[in-house]
Amino acid sequence: MTETLTITRVGGQGDGIADRPGGPVFAPLTLPGETVRAEVRDGRAESVDLLVASPDRIAPVSPHYGDCGGCSLQHWASEPYLEWKRDQVRLALSREGVETDIQPTVAVPPGTRRRLALHARRGPDGRAILGFKARKSWRLVEIRVCPVAEPRLVAAIPALTRVAEAFLEHPKSAPTLHVTWTLTGLDVDVTGVERRSGGLSRDAQLRAIEAATAADLARLSLAGDTLVMSRQPLVGFGPATVPLPAGGFLQAVPEAEVAMVSRAVEAVRGAKKIADLFCGAGTFTFPLATVAPVLAADASAAGITALKAGMGTAQGLKPITAEVRDLFRRPLAPYDLRGCDAIVLDPPRAGAREQTAQLGGAKAHTVVYVSCNPVTFARDARVLVDGGFRLEGVTPVDQFLWSAHVELVAVFRR
């Protein structure tokens, strides 16, 4: 049914929402105050025709905007867009009954994302193409430019397409190239290759290695297993240089990483010992070790191995103790955290419910919580507040530009 809708707000997934008696309608790529005419099916607007535009609407900068599913908010002016991200944190906390000071959202510039997940498929003419999934679809949008990505990643797409060709050997394969720009060049880890039929053949592996060599990749790996490495991919964490594990986690935007790390370090100044939980390969560990000795823990054995390898690359650090530990199944108890008067957590999107439940009994006076999901953060913030902490403040960080994703760093005090 065709309806005329007035958009009243933007929802948590980035779609405009029209409130009506029959229930809300979600209209993609729209803004508060706009009037649209659209086909409405099951609460979603399709074939949207913009009748009255918001004064906050701006021209998108990508030729793929509207088709590519990567940037859902590229049409929104910076100030209201950043304020909306701040509001997402406020709303999540209010649902848990937690109030605090929320700082303005930290912005990041375009052209700074050093990590991309590029999907590979065969086009209608049979050639390999790389791109992102279309909005609300499995269809692939071939990408030739990307205003959020580091320009060197975009420049490498033709060479990466030739690498991807070898991984399309099986018709059921749906390869994704996880591409990272490191200090020593491009690191590529490929997932989504059909395994039930025997995985990638030796011939395809050789073709992939040849293409990787021609593209001057630092490393090419398949689901974390290295196929070829001409140079060890290296990243800098504070004063340390760390070998990045194949398929390992790394913050997507260096400027966002700096914003979060600097706030964490400032919050724990004066601590005598710091616990860095969900530490990965040491994003926060090494900067924290400029302040006090650090106990670091993470479930990734490869991450802990990389962290330990980085210890010898920096001078003047306080001692670091690192261990492999699944903090969901075996969270650190107050006894394990004895002597730690500050704790930093950077969990995955699922949050850290099990670990935060242990912190109320610990002696730490400061907890810094870094999150990529305001909803699970707010849930865990409620646990910390109930455990005797006060949420001193939150800083949202716009790491994923023009998307609905919100990152944040929060400081709790006894």
Q: Which residues are catalytic?
A: 372
Tokens of residue 111, six digits: 């052209």
How do 240-243 and 234-237 pair as beta strands?
A: antiparallel
Does residue 160 contact residue 130 with C-beta atoms inside 8 Å?
Answer: yes
Q: Which residues contact 239 (CB under 8 A, 6 or more apart)?
A: 286, 287, 290, 314, 315, 316, 317
- Spatial CA neighbour of 327 closest among 378, 288, 380: 380
| Cα–Cα distance measured from residue 45 to residue 7, given in angstroms and rounded to the nearest whole number | 11
Instruction: Name the strands in the sheet holding 44-52, side by side, starting at the edge strand that comes first in the sequence.
Output: 2-6, 35-41, 44-52, 25-27, 16-18, 9-10
Cβ–Cβ < 8 Å for 25, 9: no
Closest C-alpha among 101, 18, 46 to residue 395: 101
Of the candidates 242, 403, 394, 364, the one whose C-alpha atom is nearest the C-alpha of residue 309 is: 242
How many CB atoms neighbour CB 273 within 10 A? Answer: 21
For residue 240, the cross-strand partners are 237
What 3-state DSSP class applies to 411?
strand
Taking the C-alpha atoms of residue 127 and residue 142, their distance in angstroms, rounded to an integer, is: 12
